[in-house]
Amino acid sequence: MTAEIDIRNVSKRFGSLTVLEDLSLKIPAHEFVVFLGPSGCGKSTLLRMIAGLESIDIGEIFINGEPIGHLPPGQRGVAMVFQSYALYPHMTVRQNMAFGLQNISVSSKVIAERVANAARMLEIGHLLDRKPGQLSGGQRQRVAIGRAVVKEPNAFLFDEPLSNLDAALRARTRVELAQLHQRLKSTMIFVTHDQMEAMTLADRIVVMNNKKIEQIGSPMDIYDRPATRFVAGFVGTPQMNFLNVTALATEPSGVRVECGALAVVAPFDAAAVGRATMLGIRAESVSVVRDGEGDIGATIDVLERLGDRSLVHARLADGQSVVANEAGQTRLKVGERIGLRFAGDKAHLFDADGVAFHVREAVS
């Protein structure tokens, strides 16, 4: 009832446009994997190749060790939930859910049982005799999930299933999907461009960009130790601060990184010396102190109050902009002179190709 999915050296082109290039990925059974990346980076294409809706040009995909490239979509043991839900408009909810089972000659008794179970689990029992046109967006979404659940697939494929829901419903459905995964224990692949969905749902996130995989890792891995500058910039709100590196030197206490007037010393990977061109640090690792204190002085450009915290957009003397975290109740004002303190051991360095260098992990 669950699948290990192994994607080996897969490439895909549409005419002259290469969408995926030599991509390999192993998804263990039971795992909840999220494909995360900007729009148009090929997430859906990869998902649809697993489903059998797109052909595999080069490479092969294995499910539980069996190559599946030659199998039609229905025979791969996977179920898909589409972004648009793709419910059959002329069938009732019950018929929508039963259709796939009727086609493989499951007895009507078993079908009725499974539909009833799924309906109870998803709380759509009272909708079974309605047609999709008579349902709200959230209800349709549940029916689409129910249609996948009754098939008892080895793997669930979700293509941005939450993007058509309003914010409140999206947050609720996110939690329910996590619960569904815990209950069913099936492998789940979830495609999204929303890093918040990825962070909250995934066991592992596969960050994709520009035809290839940028990084595979747990949400905290991706967040704390981004493998590339792209990942560092794509994951996390507000976006990570990036400052141009002007000088690098090895010191007894670590690597000294200078960005103009700013100097940060931290135990960075020594390989960064001579290569890093960019320093990255998240807003939460930059704090506001009184003018004249901290690592560097700045002027407040914009103050974003988010309630639980405030984001201070500050401008350095050389014109570069830095976002810093501040308490929700801050008394700071736009135009005020402040000092910024950088938590150097939370910073990252990137070379010209975007490859990241992190602070060496503490040996314990």
Ligand X SMILES: Nc1ncnc2c1ncn2[C@@H]1O[C@H](COP(=O)(O)OP(=O)(O)O)[C@@H](O)[C@H]1O
Nearer to another protein, 77 or 294 (CB): 77
Contacting ligand X within 20-59 (CB under 6 A): 37, 39-45
User: CB of 131: closest distance to another protein in angstroms?
Assistant: 11
Alpha-carbon gap, residue 224 to 232, rounded angstroms: 9
Answer with the entry of another protein, ligand X, Mg ion, none that 14 interacts with (C-beta below 5 to 8 A by kind).
ligand X
Q: Is the dihedral of CA 350, 355, 358, 360 positive or negative?
A: negative
Reading the block at residue 30, the tokens are 């039971």
Answer with the entry of another protein, Mg ion, ligand X, none that 74 interacts with (C-beta below 5 to 8 A by kind).
another protein
Stretch of 14-22, 97-105, 231-239, 311-319 contacting another protein, by CB under 8 A: 97-105
Alpha carbon separation from 260 to 232, 241, 253 (Å, rounded): 22, 15, 21
Site string for another protein, 127-156 (x = CB under 8 A): --------------------x---------
Rg (CA), the chain: 25
Name residue, tokens 């050296």: 9
**Total of residues contacting ligand X (CB under 6 A):** 11
**Total of residues contacting Mg ion (CB under 5 A):** 1
Q: Choose among 225, 166, 163: nearest CA to 198.
A: 163
Which is it for strands 32-36 and 356-357: parallel, antiparallel or unpaired?
unpaired
Whether 164 contacts 186, CB under 8 Å: no
Q: Does 125 bind ligand X (CB under 6 A)?
A: no
Residue type, 215: Q
Nearer to another protein, 36 or 155 (CB): 155
Q: Does 44 bind Mg ion (CB under 5 A)?
A: yes
Residues that bind another protein (CB under 8 A): 51-53, 72-75, 78-80, 82, 84, 86-91, 99-100, 103-104, 147
